[in-house]
């Protein structure tokens, strides 16, 4: 699962990282605690130019046929193994794939009746991209709303002690094939795997991140590592 993530990189960094002109990007502020139902920037191919563009979307996919937006409360993630067969995500996976920029994501470990947040990030602090899909939903008597979900897969060895799922992190070489409208279904499935490299680390952080409405930098403030047997797998 991916229920919170951080995106602290500036417009300039993300524009360069994803090959998009910064003056063409919509405004968005950094956040250290992106939560479900918040509006976040995603990268997709422009329907007009075929080039990458940033678009602001709400986190929690609502398919066009849904009667109301409540469905978006339970669709912040889509299991990569099932997305192609589920009506909720099937069409979006075929036609509307996107990249979700992030600088890290959070998982919580329960020890002795307490939940300890961990920030999973790159060791070099560079941004990365989750595999996502998006859709457009039309509320009654209102303008259409674009919304997205993040695809998840089984955990890597690093994440396994924390959770049984993790977001699909796409390496830069996979961005073009993931966004391509001509991508083959089998090729797409091959991309939806746990991160295999050793570039990531899991760092215990402040409980400030437990508040979904708090987005400050103290969310990623490192704290002493909890002492427990299962944490040996997370040792750096």
Distance of CA 170 to the CA centre of its chain: 10
Q: Taking the CA of residue 1 as centre, how many other CA atoms within 13 Å lie in the half-sphere pointing to its CB?
A: 11
The rounded distance, in Å, linking the Cα atoms of 116 and 206 is 8
Q: Which of 53, 107, 146, 215 is an active site residue?
A: 107
Q: Are strands 77-79 and 114-122 parallel, antiparallel or unpaired?
A: unpaired
- What is the CB-side half-sphere exposure of residue 38 using CA atoms within 13 A? 21
Cα distance between residue 88 and residue 223, in whole Å: 39
Tell me the residue ranges of DSSP E strands in the chain.
5-7, 31-34, 39-45, 52-59, 77-79, 97-102, 104-111, 114-122, 128-137, 145-153, 166-167, 169-170, 200-204
Ordered DSSP codes for 21-52: -GGGSPP---EEEE-TT-EEEEEEE-TTTSSE
Question: Is residue 107 annotated as a catalytic residue, yes or no?
Answer: yes
Residue 219 annotated among the catalytic residues of the structure: no
The catalytic residues are 2, 107
């Amino acid at each position: 699962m991916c229920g919170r993530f951080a995106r602290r990189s500036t417009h300039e960094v993300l524009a360069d990282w994803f090959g998009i002109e910064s003056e063409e990007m919509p405004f968005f502020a950094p956040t250290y605690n992106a939560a479900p139902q918040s509006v976040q920037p995603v990268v997709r191919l422009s329907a007009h130019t075929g080039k990458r563009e940033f678009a602001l979307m709400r986190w929690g996919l609502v398919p066009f046929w849904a009667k109301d937006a409540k469905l978006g409360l339970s669709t912040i993630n889509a299991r990569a193994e099932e997305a192609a067969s589920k009506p909720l995500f099937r069409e979006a996976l075929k036609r509307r794939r996107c990249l979700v920029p992030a600088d890290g994501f959070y998982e919580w470990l329960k020890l002795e009746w307490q939940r300890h947040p961990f920030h999973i990030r790159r060791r070099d602090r560079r941004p990365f991209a989750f595999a996502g899909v998006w859709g457009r939903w039309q509320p009654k008597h209102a303008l259409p709303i674009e919304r997205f979900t993040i695809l998840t897969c089984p955990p890597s060895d690093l994440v396994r002690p924390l959770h049984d799922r993790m977001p699909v992190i796409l390496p830069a070489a996979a961005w073009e094939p993931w966004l391509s409208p001509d991508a083959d279904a089998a090729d797409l499935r091959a991309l939806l795997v746990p991160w295999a490299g050793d570039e990531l680390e899991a760092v215990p952080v402040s409980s400030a991140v437990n508040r979904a409405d708090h987005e400050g930098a103290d969310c990623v403030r490192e704290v002493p590592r909890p002492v427990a047997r299962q944490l040996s797998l997370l040792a750096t």
